[in-house]
Amino acid sequence: MATRLQFENNCDIGVFSKLTNAYCMVAIGGSESFYSVFESELSGVIPVVKTSIAGTRIVGRLCAGNKNGLLLPHTTTDQELQHLRNSLPDQVVVQRIEEKLSALGNCIACNDHVALTHTDLDRETEEIIADVLGVEVFRQTIAGNILVGSFCSLSNRGGLVHPHTSIEDLDELSTLLQVPLVAGTVNRGSEVIAAGMIVNDWTAFCGSDTTATELSVIESVFKLRDSQPSVIVDEMRKSLIDSYV
């Protein structure tokens, strides 16, 4: 189920938050209603961690992670590193990496099995990614843009890419990632997908400018519609009550 929300009247929530299957990170300094949305969706299941990275609030774009690990830029302070290590579950490996391209969220798009990276990433960083996140790494461009982390949003069930991606590119990426991909937009025609939305296997959050069409596209490609517990019960009810009248 996809939810629409805003961070301080800004629809680019993917900038201020990061969502994976094991944890959720949000920026500090926002209003309580922002957190309450996350908490209402996720609190029982995964921890929602408030943090800053390198003293900034743009946590979504600076770090990259999945259920296995989290990668932080070299600008992260020790306190933040410690705070994250404490707050996140133990199986999540928190690693700070020395990489010239420090906006890891813009450079790396990953799910639990496979990652797409910026073409100019260091060799060592690629190895660390493969190591820490436990993924297969592919250097790719999306619609000719090298910032793959910004223009694509991945989960284990599907992915949404830049709207100008050609059909050949879509096929190629889909083969690499082994998930269905669709080209679309978010936040009323914005092409920067990952800045406008965050997603994991059962839920997604989008900026409030997202139109109903975009929302339906997101829900269908990430297969979010059928993942609520209530849906399953409803289906069961249909089969149980078959000869009522």
Partner 1 sequence: MSGILGMAQDAGMFMVHQTIGSVLCCKCGIRMQPNAANMCVKCLRSEVDITEGLLKRLVLVHCPECESYLQPPRTWVKLQLESKELLTFCLKKLQKNMNINKVKLVNAEFIWTEPHSKRVKVKVSVQKEVYNGAILEQSYLVEYVQQDHMCESCSRVAANPDQWVAAVQLRQHVSHRRTFYYLEQLILRHGAAARAVRIKQMDHGIDFYFSNRSHGNKFVEFIGKVAPVKSRSDKQLVSHDSKSNNYNYKYTFSVEISPICREDLICLPPKAAAILGNIGPIVVCTKVTNSIALLDPLTLKFGFLDAEQYWRTSFKSLLTSRQLVEYIVFDIEPVSSEITVGGTKYVLADAQVARVSDFGSNDTQFSIRTHLGHLLKPGDHALGYDLYGANTNDMELDRYKGYIPEVVLIKKSYEEKRQKKRAKARSWKLKSLNMEVDDKIKVDEDKRDAEYEHFLKDLEENPELRFNISLYQNKDYQPSEVASVTEDDGEPIPSVPDDELLAANLLAAEFDDLDLIEDGDGEDNMAE
With contact defined as beta carbons under 8 Å apart, do 126 and 135 qualify? no
Residue 159 found at the interface with partner 1 (CB under 8 A): no
Residue 153 found at the interface with partner 1 (CB under 8 A): no
Query: Considering the complex, what minimum distance in angstroms separates the CB of residue 154 from partner 1?
Result: 18
Which residue's CB is nearer to partner 1, number 52 or number 106? Answer: 106
Size of the site for partner 1 (CB under 8 A): 24
Q: Which segments within 73-135 are labelled E, that is strand? A: 93-96, 108-110, 114-117
In the chain, the amino acid numbered 220 is S
Alpha-carbon distance 22 to 129, whole Å? 17
- Close Cβ partners of 221 (under 8 Å, ≥ 6 residues apart): 158, 159, 160, 180, 181, 182, 184
With contact defined as beta carbons under 8 Å apart, do 104 and 95 qualify? no
In the block, tokens 């908490």 appear at 39
Task: Determine the interface stretch with partner 1 among 51-59, 67-75, 89-97, 186-194 (rule: CB under 8 A).
Answer: 186-194
Q: Of residues 86-145, which lie at the interface with partner 1 (CB under 8 A)?
A: 143-145
**Which one of residues 37, 63, 137, 183 is an interface residue with partner 1 (CB under 8 A)?**
183
Task: Determine the interface stretch with partner 1 among 20-28, 92-100, 125-133, 157-165 (rule: CB under 8 A).
Answer: 157-165
Query: Considering the complex, what minimum distance in angstroms separates the CB of residue 31 from partner 1?
Result: 27
Which residue's CB is nearer to partner 1, number 108 or number 186? Answer: 186
Nearest to 46 by CA among 16, 85, 88: 88
In 10 A of CB 172, how many CB atoms?
15
Footprint on this chain of partner 1 (rule: CB under 8 A):
143-145, 163-170, 183-185, 188-191, 211-214, 216-217
